[in-house]
């Protein structure tokens, strides 16, 4: 395959240039200014398109096994490819949870049938109950790429400390959902202006900040690579900044919804703006953007969390938390961060490609001769409106909203896995 006339953006080397790419046997074989195409070559004309390494999502819920009415490995992969993602790291809050080698092996075996690369985390505790540690060594040997009880916080500090020590010894990241339930009366809505309007107490920012403070300290003490998942509050961002400066191997993920929306979205979109941790205030949103701009937040992750329409139609307190995100993430990054002048396109792509690859030791996220041919070709200027999804679920507050940046082609292992119509 030959891709001609595209603008290559390579966050790995912080370079961009116009060039052609030849792909052979799933590998980037040549990058040059004018590669002649033989008539037998599959050729893509990328004139006007930007070519980035395939996107890598460190935080998605494919619901497989357990909830095939919400998503499966297959439908999740289709949604990922449409969004420009060629590698996705799945969370472990499936049913059963990924706390044993057989569950993990089953997922990884079935994942091989999909067009994108699926990686799987193992849980930190058995059944996400925070009491009995999993055999992290065995899970790593069976292919786990990291550990997380995502969806549920690890409330016991000493348990969390030991898990971090173990993760550090195994040199794998441990990712943490930071919301102390002791502070929370209602999940999925910030304790603030909107929650009081609708008569709920909600989930205050201190629920997150108190655990972030604790876990930054534990990260500093253990040396583990600790990921603060879906960061939502300004003080959490400040804590990560401070502890990074102190030398902790602490990382943070921001989701497109936390940098694009505030709690006001709950008034407009109801349960489609319900997620854990919740959308917070404009001050928090701007602090997240500042954290992305100055490098405090190194990763943009979707927290793609499919739920059925029937479940999301329940009254606010009863509906499940979470929204889908794979198909709109790049466009939200371009629309909210790049076009508003907060990040360059290369900086945005760095947080969606090479930074995740480095943290999870994946050999992807770069465009280089000899590297795997995982690429996304998109038009950063194209205006489009999300209307329908390849995900099995469509729980998104961004449906119907004008966004810039449209994925045209996704290539994984040298194979075209998505073409926009
Ligand atoms: O809103 C959320 N939904 N946050 C999480 O951490 C978990 C996710 C889910 O699994 O639905
Ligand atoms: Zn989470």
Asked if pLDDT for residue 38 goes beyond 90, the answer is no
Measure 206 CA to ligand 1 centroid, in angstroms: 19
* Average confidence score pLDDT of the chain: 98
- Predicted pLDDT of residue 389: 98
Confirm or reject: Cβ of 177 under 6 Å from ligand 1: yes
Q: Rounded to whole angstroms, how far apart are CA atoms 394 and 401?
A: 14
**Closest ligand (CA of 187):** 1
Q: Which of 12, 20, 99, 303 is catalytic?
A: 303
Give the per-residue pLDDT at 39: 86
Q: Is residue 93 within 6 Å of ligand 1 at its C-beta? A: yes
Query: What is the mean pLDDT of the segment spanning 168-193?
Result: 98
Question: For 141, phi and psi rounded to 5 degrees?
Answer: -60, -30
Q: Each residue of 336-354: pLDDT tens digit?
A: 999 999 999 999 999 999 9
Which residue's alpha carbon is at the smallest distance from atom 3 of ligand 1? 322
Contact 371, 49 (CB under 8 A): no
The model's pLDDT over 304-324, given as tens digits with 9 standing for 90+, comes to 999 999 999 999 999 999 999
Q: 262 CB less than 6 Å from ligand 1?
A: no
- Tally of CA atoms within 13 A in the half-sphere of 284 that contains its CB: 27
Smallest-distance ligand from the CA of 63: 1
Instruction: Report CA(151)–ligand 1 centroid distance (Å).
Output: 5
Sequence-distant (≥ 6) Cβ neighbours of residue 152 within 8 angstroms: 93, 128, 130, 177
Indicate the pLDDT class of residue 376, thresholds 50, 70 and 90.
very high
pLDDT tens digits, one per residue of 229-250: 999 999 999 999 999 999 999 9
Catalytic annotation present for 379: no
Ligand 1 mutation target, pool 94, 253, 303, 307, most atoms within 8 A of CB: 303
| Residue 89 CA to ligand 2 centre (angstroms) | 13
Query: Could you tell me if the CB of 322 is within 6 A of ligand 1?
Result: yes
Sign of the Cα torsion 78, 82, 88, 91 reads: negative
Which pLDDT belongs to residue 188?
Answer: 98
* Percentage of residues of the chain with pLDDT beyond 70: 100
Q: Which of 90, 85, 93, 89 is nearest to 67 (CA)?
A: 93
Q: Considering the entire predicted model, what is its pTM?
A: 0.98
Give pLDDT, residue 123. 99
409, pLDDT greater than 90: yes
Looking at residue 333, what DSSP letter applies? Answer: I
How far is the centre of ligand 1, averaged over its atoms, from the C-alpha of 320 (Å)? 8
User: What gap in Å lies between CA 170 and CA 369, rounded to an integer?
Assistant: 30
- In this prediction, residues 146-163 reach a mean pLDDT of 98
Q: What mean pLDDT is predicted for residues 264-273?
A: 98
- Of 90, 123, 150, the residue with max ligand 1 atoms within 8 A of its CB, to mutate for a pocket test, comes to 150
Burial 52-86 (b: 16+ CB within 10 A, else e): bbbbbbbbbbbbbbebeebbbbbbbbbbbbbbbbb
414: pLDDT strictly greater than 90:
yes
Angle between helices 205-222 and 157-170 (to 10 degrees): 50
pLDDT in tens, 68-100: 999 999 999 999 999 999 999 999 999 999 999
* DSSP code string of 375-393: EEEEEEEEEE-----SSS-
What count of Cα atoms within 13 Å lies in the side-chain half-sphere of residue 197? 11
Check pocket membership of 150 for ligand 1, CB cut-off 6 A.
Answer: yes
């Amino acid at each position: 395959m030959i891709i001609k006339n595209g603008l290559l953006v390579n966050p790995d080397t912080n370079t961009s240039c116009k060039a052609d790419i030849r792909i052979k046997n799933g590998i980037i074989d040549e990058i040059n200014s004018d590669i002649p195409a033989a008539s037998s070559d599959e050729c893509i004309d990328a004139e006007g398109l930007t070519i980035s390494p395939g996107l890598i999502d460190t935080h998605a819920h494919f619901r497989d096994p357990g909830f095939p009415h919400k998503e499966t490995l297959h439908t999740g992969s289709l949604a990922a490819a449409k969004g420009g993602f060629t590698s996705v790291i799945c969370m472990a809050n499936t049913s059963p949870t990924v706390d044993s080698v057989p569950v993990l092996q089953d997922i990884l075996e079935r994942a091989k049938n999909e067009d994108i690369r699926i990686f799987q985390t193992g849980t930190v505790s058995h059944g996400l109950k925070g009491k009995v540690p999993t055999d992290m060594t065995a899970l790593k040997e069976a292919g786990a790429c990291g550990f997380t009880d995502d969806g549920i916080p690890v409330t016991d500090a000493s348990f969390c400390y030991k898990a971090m020590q173990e993760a550090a010894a195994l040199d794998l990241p441990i990712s943490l959902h930071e919301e102390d339930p002791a502070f929370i009366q209602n999940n999925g809505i910030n304790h603030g202006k909107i929650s009081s309007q609708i008569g709920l107490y909600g989930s205050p920012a201190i629920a997150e900040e108190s655990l972030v403070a604790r876990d930054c300290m534990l990260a500093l003490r253990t040396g583990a690579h600790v990921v603060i998942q879906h960061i939502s509050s300004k003080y959490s961002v400040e804590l990560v900044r401070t502890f990074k400066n102190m030398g902790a191997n602490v990382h943070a993920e921001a989701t497109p919804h936390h940098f694009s929306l505030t709690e006001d979205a709950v008034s407009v979109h109801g349960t489609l703006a319900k997620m854990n941790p919740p959308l917070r205030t404009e001050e928090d949103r701007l602090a997240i953007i500042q954290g992305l701009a100055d490098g405090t937040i190194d990763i943009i992750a979707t927290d793609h969390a499919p739920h059925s329409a029937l479940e999301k139609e329940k009254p606010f307190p009863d509906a499940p938390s979470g929204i889908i995100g794979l198909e709109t993430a790049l466009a939200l990054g371009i629309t909210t961060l790049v076009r508003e002048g907060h990040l360059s396109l290369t900086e945005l792509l760095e947080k969606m490609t090479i930074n995740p690859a480095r943290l999870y030791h994946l050999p992807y996220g770069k465009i280089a001769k000899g590297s795997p041919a995982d690429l996304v070709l998109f038009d950063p200027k194209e205006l489009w409106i999300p209307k329908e999804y390849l995900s099995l679920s469509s729980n998104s507050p961004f449906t119907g909203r004008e966004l810039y940046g449209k994925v045209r082609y996704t290539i994984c292992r040298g194979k075209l896995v998505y073409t926009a119509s």
